[in-house]
Amino acid sequence: MSKKKESFSVFDHVLVPKHEIVPDSEVEAVLAELRIGSKDRLPKILPTDPCVKALGAKRGDLIRILRKEPTGEAVYYRVVV
């Protein structure tokens, strides 16, 4: 008797913040807002990260992470390496 594997979304977990791929049309505006010249200066995230896999992000994509903080919402950026 085989067990049916249930699908699970990593984003359904209470401790996982919202992740989204920043559209190419917004990347330059984000870099200008952060006052950095290129994505190479941003923190990195691996393609093996469960959230990156779930989004279907590829190398070079910019990921926006929206975390709920006691003072509101904080925005973080990571580049898929």
Chain segment 2-59, per-residue pLDDT in tens: 566 667 789 888 889 999 999 999 999 999 999 999 999 999 999 999 999 999 999 9
* pLDDT at residue 4, rounded to an integer: 64
For residue 74, give its domain range: 15-80
Q: What is the dihedral of CA 39, 40, 43, 45, to 10 degrees?
A: 90
pLDDT score, position 16: 93
Residue 5 confidence (pLDDT): 64
**Between residues 1 and 81, the one the model is more confident about:** 81
Q: What is the structure's pLDDT at 13?
A: 87
- Residue 7 belongs to some domain of the structure: no
Look at the chain and report how many structural domains it folds into: 1
Is residue 61 domain-resident? yes
Q: What is the pTM of this model?
A: 0.86
Compute CA distances 23 → 7, 28, 34, 50, 60, whole Å: 27, 10, 16, 20, 12
Half-sphere exposure of 39 (CA within 13 A, CB side): 19
**What is the CATH number for 55?**
3.90.940.20
